[in-house]
Amino acid sequence: MDLVCPVCNGLYEINVTCDICFKNMIDKGPVVNYLDDYSPYLLDDIAAKVDGAPSYKCVHIYQCPNCKHDKRVEIDRIYI
């Protein structure tokens, strides 16, 4: 069994509300995708070690389409 992020794998979506204007925010993907040019291609085992979160969490960036405010949201990985 592997630990995977359910949001990255399209198993479900998370609704996040902007703290500034209270609009729904858009998932911009995991933080590790923004580290360098090749980070989106890293294996999950490696990526889980470089984002600064525990291995059972996946940190996503959510951005408000209205005011452009962004925040990081930790998502629990699940076993599949």
Q: What is the pLDDT of residues 24-80, one digit of tens each?
A: 999 999 988 887 766 666 666 666 666 778 889 999 999 999 999 999 999 999 999
Q: Tell me the residue range of the domain where 36 lies.
A: 3-79
Residue with tokens 């989106």: 40
Number of domains in the chain: 1
Would the pLDDT of 17 be above 90?
Answer: yes
| Cβ neighbours around 37 below 10 Å, total | 6
One-letter identity of residue 74? E
Q: What is the pTM of this model?
A: 0.84
Smallest CA-to-CA distance from 3 within 40, 75, 59, 55 is with: 55
Report residue 16 as tokens. 């996040």
Beta strand segments in 6-54, E: 26-30
- Three-state secondary-structure class, residue 3: strand
